[in-house]
């Protein structure tokens, strides 16, 4: 709670600093009879930032350092067996001591040492929280005074504020990048651990997927990627066979034939399809498309399971249609009107113009859109979980059930988890594999799209 008060106090102080800065700059300007370099509001902002940044920086730094000090306080004066603790056991001890010190207590009886350490810790924390307020206040006021003194008509407060804004923007973009790096790193570590149990060759080229439950102990089962990858590819291909022709024709209609009013209505409606949660698509597959395909197949004497690669692929294709149509439509409209006019003026019809001039010119961009849709399809989970039947067996029959990489991750990483067993760790290896595949596709797709853009500039 005291933290919120502290932050609130700092914000108020920054507001005051702003007023002081602005007022002081006016006074300085009047006294020296010189024109200010920047507006008074820039000086105010500069003073407010000088007041807030050091104090907040200190608070952030402290939140990282506090656990280290807490561990040090808990361990100091401990008997040798406790001093030797490390890793999860130490964390557990610190957790217990912290909750005793905060007055919540622990469920079982605390040991003498824990009670004694808790007393020390609560003293320490009391002192620290006071010290924290004092230091933050000093930094804030110090920054304020220092900045106020710097104000002269020549000071380029405007440029300094600009610099701070730039740094804030850079920090924000760094967060996004670091998140990606963090995700990859976390998967990477677990994947390495997985490969200490299972030979990478058995994983990447294994033809059997049969991870036994870790509770059965002993042998670790088969972790062959190939059946899952085959399932993923089969469903993706089916989805693309549905989505590409339909999506492309929608795009051609919207870009070349549709009246502007039709276009302004139809385009958002089609894009609405992309906003439907995939779990709803899965539901649709399970209750509508699957039974329909099954009955439809029966008419021709075909055995189609209600939950099969076909069902999942068809529904996924429907989900992807707006991706293809929307991206392709943008690309087709970007083909310069001069191409269209040139072809029409030579006496070709509209569809000849589209087939022979527009589509070839837009092809690289359409391929890029196609690849983006593929990477979307490969990573799709919910539809496949619900509609593909989850059968990790290598076969080439789209009317049968399959399992995909994403489904297997769900299976391996839900329920009771034991992160020391390959049965769970394989989820990370699968995730990383998927990440590398989609990353590769995205890079290729973006490269193609960019190359295409340059062509007309």
Partner 1 sequence: MSVQTKPKVVAKDVNVYYGDKHALKNVSVNIPERAVTAFIGPSGCGKSTFLRCFNRMNDTVDGARVVGSIQIDDQDIYDPDLDPVQLRARVGMVFQKPNPFPKSIFENVAYGPRIHGLAHAKPDMEEIVVSSLRKAGLFEEVKDRLHESGTGLSGGQQQRLCIARAIAVSPEVILMDEPCSALDPIATARIEELIAELRENFTIVIVTHSMQQAARVSQRTAFFHLGILVEEGTTDDIFTNPQEKRTQDYITGRFG
Sign for the CA dihedral angle at 61, 67, 72, 77 comes to positive
Report the residue number, 348 or 397, with the smaller CB distance to partner 1. Answer: 348
**Apex CA 362: angle with CA 360 and CA 367, to 5°?**
100
Residue with tokens 């970007």: 334
Binding letters toward partner 1, positions 74-113, x by CB under 8 A = ----------------------------------------
In the list 344, 393, 410, 444, the residue contacting partner 1 (rule: CB under 8 A) is: 344
Q: What is the dihedral of CA 423, 429, 431, 433, to 10 degrees?
A: -140
**Should residue 361 be labelled a site residue for partner 1 when binding is judged by CB under 8 A?**
yes
Q: Which is nearer to partner 1, 114 or 329 (CB)?
A: 329
User: What is the rounded distance in angstroms from the CA atom of residue 117 to the CA atom of residue 98?
Assistant: 9
Among residues 348, 381, 397, 442, the one that binds partner 1 under rule CB under 8 A: 348
Least Cβ distance, residue 169 to partner 1 (angstroms):
38
Min dist. Cβ of residue 333 to partner 1 (A): 14
Distance CA 216, CA 408 (A): 19
3-state secondary structure of 204: helix
Stretch that binds partner 1, among 214-222, 286-294, 345-353, 440-448 (CB under 8 A): 345-353
Interface with partner 1, residue 294, by CB under 8 A: no
What lies within 8 Å, CB to CB, of 28 at 6+ separation is: 36, 151, 152, 153
Q: Which of 131, 121, 152, 148 is nearest to 29 (CA)?
A: 152
The distance of Cα 10 from the centroid of its chain, to the nearest Å, equals: 32
Pick the binder of partner 1 from 341, 439, 443, 451 (CB under 8 A): 341
* 151 vs 448 by CB, closer to partner 1: 448
For partner 1, the closer CB: 140 or 357: 357
CB of 49 to partner 1, least distance (A): 50
| Integer Cα distance of 252 and 244 in angstroms | 12
Determine the 3-state secondary structure of 304 from DSSP.
coil
Among 7, 137, 246, 339, binds partner 1 (CB under 8 A): 339
The helix, strand and coil proportions of the chain, stated in percent and rounded to the nearest 5, come to: 80, 0, 20
Q: Does 351 bind partner 1 (CB under 8 A)?
A: no
Among 119, 163, 342, 440, binds partner 1 (CB under 8 A): 342
Stated length of the chain: 457
**Segment interacting with partner 1 (CB under 8 A) among 28-36, 84-92, 347-355, 401-409:** 347-355
Which one among 1, 68, 338, 396 touches partner 1, defined by CB under 8 A?
338
* Contact indicator for 210, 233 with CB cutoff of 8 Å: no
Q: Per-residue contact track with partner 1, 240 to 259, x per CB under 8 A?
A: -------------------x
List helix spans (H) across 300-421.
309-334, 337-345, 350-353, 359-379, 382-387, 405-412
Shortest Å distance, C-beta 352 to partner 1:
6
Residue 454 in contact with partner 1, rule: CB under 8 A: no
Size of the site for partner 1 (CB under 8 A): 21
Q: Does 455 bind partner 1 (CB under 8 A)?
A: yes
User: Residue 347 Cβ, how far from partner 1 at the closest point, in Å?
Assistant: 4
Instruction: Please state, in angstroms and rounded to a whole number, the distance separating the CA atoms of residues 432 and 430.
Output: 5
Q: Find the binder of partner 1 among 87, 301, 347, 415 (CB under 8 A).
A: 347
Please, which residue, 162 or 352, has the CB nearer to partner 1?
352
Q: How far is the CB of 254 from partner 1 (least distance, A)?
A: 15
The answer to whether residues 405 and 232 touch, using CB atoms and an 8 Å cutoff, is: yes
CA R_g for the chain: 32
Residue whose CB is less far from partner 1, 199 or 455: 455
Nearer to partner 1, 112 or 345 (CB): 345
Which of 443, 437, 453, 243 shows the shortest CA–CA distance to 364? 453
Contacts to partner 1 by CB under 8 A: 259-260, 336, 338-349, 352, 356-357, 360-361, 455
């Amino acid at each position: 709670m005291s933290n919120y008060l502290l932050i609130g106090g700092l914000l108020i102080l920054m507001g005051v600093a702003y007023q002081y800065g602005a007022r002081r700059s006016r006074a300085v300007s009047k006294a020296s009879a010189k024109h200010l370099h920047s507006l008074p509001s820039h000086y105010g902002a500069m003073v407010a930032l000088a007041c807030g940044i050091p104090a907040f920086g200190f608070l952030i730094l402290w939140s990282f350092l506090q656990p280290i000090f807490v561990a040090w306080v808990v361990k100091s004066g401990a008997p040798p067996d406790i001093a030797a603790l490390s890793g999860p056991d130490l964390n557990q001890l610190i957790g217990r001591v912290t909750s005793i010190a905060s007055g919540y207590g622990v469920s079982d009886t605390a040991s003498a040492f824990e009670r004694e350490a808790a007393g020390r810790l609560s003293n320490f924390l009391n002192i620290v929280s006071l010290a924290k307020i004092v230091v933050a206040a000093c930094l804030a006021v110090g920054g304020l005074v220092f900045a106020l003194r710097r104000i002269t008509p020549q000071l380029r407060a405007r440029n300094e504020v600009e610099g701070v804004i730039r740094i804030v923007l850079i920090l924000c973009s760094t967060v996004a990048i670091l998140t990606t790096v963090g995700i990859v790193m976390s998967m990477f570590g677990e994947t390495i651990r997985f490969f200490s149990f299972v030979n990478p060759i058995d994983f990447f080229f294994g033809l059997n997927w049969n991870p036994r439950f870790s509770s059965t102990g002993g042998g670790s089962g088969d972790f062959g990627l190939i059946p899952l990858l085959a399932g993923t590819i089969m469903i993706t291909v089916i989805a693309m066979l549905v989505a590409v022709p339909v999506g492309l024709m929608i795009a051609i209609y919207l870009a070349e034939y549709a009246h502007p009013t039709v276009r302004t209505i139809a385009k958002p409606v089609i894009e609405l399809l992309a906003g439907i949660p995939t779990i709803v698509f899965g539901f649709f597959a399970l209750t509508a498309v699957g039974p329909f395909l099954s009955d439809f197949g029966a008419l021709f004497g075909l055995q189609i399971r209600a939950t099969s690669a076909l069902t999942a692929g068809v529904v996924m294709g429907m989900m992807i249609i707006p991706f293809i149509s929307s991206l392709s439509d943008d690309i087709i409209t970007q083909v310069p009107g001069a191409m269209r006019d040139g072809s029409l003026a030579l006496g070709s019809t509209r569809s000849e113009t589209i087939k022979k001039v527009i589509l070839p010119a837009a092809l690289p961009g359409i391929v890029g859109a196609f690849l983006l849709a593929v990477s979307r399809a490969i990573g799709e989970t919910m539809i496949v979980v619900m509609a593909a039947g989850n059968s990790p067996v290598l076969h080439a029959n789209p009317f049968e059930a399959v399992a995909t990489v994403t489904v297997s991750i769900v299976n391996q990483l839900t329920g009771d988890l034991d992160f020391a067993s390959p049965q769970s760790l394989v989820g990370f290896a699968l995730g990383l594999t998927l990440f590398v595949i989609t990353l590769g596709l995205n890079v290729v797709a973006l490269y193609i799209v960019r190359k295409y853009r340059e062509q007309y500039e």
